[in-house]
Amino acid sequence: MTVPASPARDTFALTREKFSLPEGVRYFDGNSLGPLPKAVQMQAYITTTHEWGDGLIRSWRSAKWNTLPQRVGDAIGRLIGAAAGQVVACDSTSVNLFKVLTAALRLRADRKVILTDASSFPTDLYIAEQVARLCGAEILNLPVSEFPKFLNDRVAAVLLCHVDYRSAEVYDLARLTRAAHRAGALMVCDLSHSAGAIPCNLDESEVDFAVGCGYKYLNGGPGAPAFLYAAKRHHTDCEQPLTGWFGHAAPFEFTPSYAPAPGIERFLCGTNQVIALSLLNRSLEVFDGISIEEIRTRSLELTEQFISSAENRLAPHGFVVASPKDSNVRGSHVSLRHPQGYAIMQELSRRGVIGDFRMPDFMRFGFAPLFNTADEVEYLVDQIDQIMTTRAWDNPDYEQRRAFT
């Protein structure tokens, strides 16, 4: 007897068809770089050949290039729980973090501490260090579990990665934001490993500022523009440090002094990345007709399946699941640890199974519901099992070294 597919599975079968996935490749690295949506290939042609080639400078109006940051921002806002007019797509995650963290410190000018997660993604810590230097503040690096004990009237801002990039642990954003607010501090969040994969509920949680990238679960392509969220309640009072002309209230009046735009546009800086924004805008259409809650449900099915199979079949080979077993606090990737992790990942790649590696021994596998399937999960476990059984990882070509991604 054939069991009919559930409506959710039918939906994800349709979204998978929207991607240009290489024949014979099983891709588990959407948490680092999302695959190419088919519609983006056509959009690249349209933007370059017709809008730029034929329209030339006229396309700033006819193709609405001038509003791309806001339109893309609102499309991302739907996925991260932000009402319209609070998100713009622009620049890189690091640049946007510099903007919002500086803005947060200026809003709390009488406070001189930035509380950060000691195991945060390194670039966030680098940016925080420089913001602290420029603003005469200091950094307090602690495990997230220690945050509530150190929140006091000296803390201006809390900087948190919503999902741990190594382990995939999801932090309770709403609870930590409430704790920060009780102490009078502002919450600044990095959503790079959650946007497009799990609910973020920024408005509901009353997060103050957030940033994230466009090339992971949002599938915007390598180096895609990032996004920036600022809660509407801060728009009138917040000041960001990179006061470029696109953040001006009247950019084409060319006045010698700066006046910030009244809304989220004040966080823009230089000229829009038109081609990249056009591609990101088109890539977000893959999410049309599907909710972030449906995506989360499917994500948990895939990660639960992988963890169960890994514990049953891969633990005897020395693998340890380094991600939370509790689905409530696990993101959309799962990390395994093994002393030969780098060589194993190299052999998997040779077989057309792509994940990624993080020092010292984290093997990360992203499970993106828009294109990953349950059959692929079992294939992944089968391949790892075969590699260990045959010692295929023991290859002199697989020299241990730091991976780029």
Q: Which of 369, 34, 18 is nearest to 221 (CA)?
A: 34
Residue pair 378/327 in contact by the 8 Å Cβ criterion:
no
Phi, psi for 334 (deg, rounded to 5)? -130, 135
Annotation says 216 is catalytic = yes
Of the residues 26, 111, 266, 364, only one is catalytic, namely 364
The ranges of the chain annotated as CATH 3.90.1150.10 are 7-30+290-390
Across-strand partners of 87?
A: 229
Q: Is 164 one of the annotated active-site residues of the chain?
A: no
Residue 298 is a catalytic residue: no
Strand partners, 170: 163
Question: Residue 2: its pLDDT value, please?
Answer: 38
Q: Kindly report the number of other CB atoms within 10 A of residue 3's CB atom.
A: 5
Residue 211: strand, helix, or coil = strand
Q: Which residues contact 67 (CB under 8 A, 6 or more apart)?
A: none
Tens of pLDDT along the chain (405 residues) come to 333 445 445 799 999 999 999 999 999 999 999 999 999 999 999 999 999 999 999 999 999 999 999 999 999 999 999 999 999 999 999 999 999 999 999 999 999 999 999 999 999 999 999 999 999 999 999 999 999 999 999 999 999 999 999 999 999 999 999 999 999 999 999 999 999 999 999 999 999 999 999 999 999 999 999 999 999 999 999 999 999 999 999 999 999 999 999 999 999 999 999 999 999 999 999 999 999 999 999 999 999 999 999 999 999 999 999 999 999 999 999 999 999 999 999 999 999 999 999 999 999 999 999 999 999 999 999 999 999 999 999 999 997 554 444
**Residue reference for tokens 């709390």:** 108
Are 11 and 293 spatial neighbours (Cβ–Cβ below 8 Å)?
no
CATH class of 43-287: alpha beta
Cα separation, 346 vs 214, in Å, equals 26
Of 12, 27, 28, 121, which is the active-site residue? 121
Reply yes or no on whether 364 is catalytic: yes
Which residues, in sequence order, are CB contacts of 296 under 8 Å at separation 6+? Answer: 197, 198, 199
71 is catalytic: no
Where exactly does CATH 3.40.640.10 map onto the chain?
43-287
pTM, to two decimals: 0.95
Per the document, the length of the chain is 405
Q: Provide the CATH topology of domain 7-30+290-390.
A: Aspartate Aminotransferase, domain 1 (3.90.1150)
Q: Please say whether the beta carbons of 101 and 127 come within 8 A.
A: yes
- Provide the pLDDT for residue 10: 76
Selected catalytic residue, list 19, 215, 229, 246: 215
Secondary structure (3-state) at 267: helix
Q: Catalytic residue among 18, 108, 216, 358, which?
A: 216
Annotated catalytic residue, options 74, 124, 164, 190 = 190
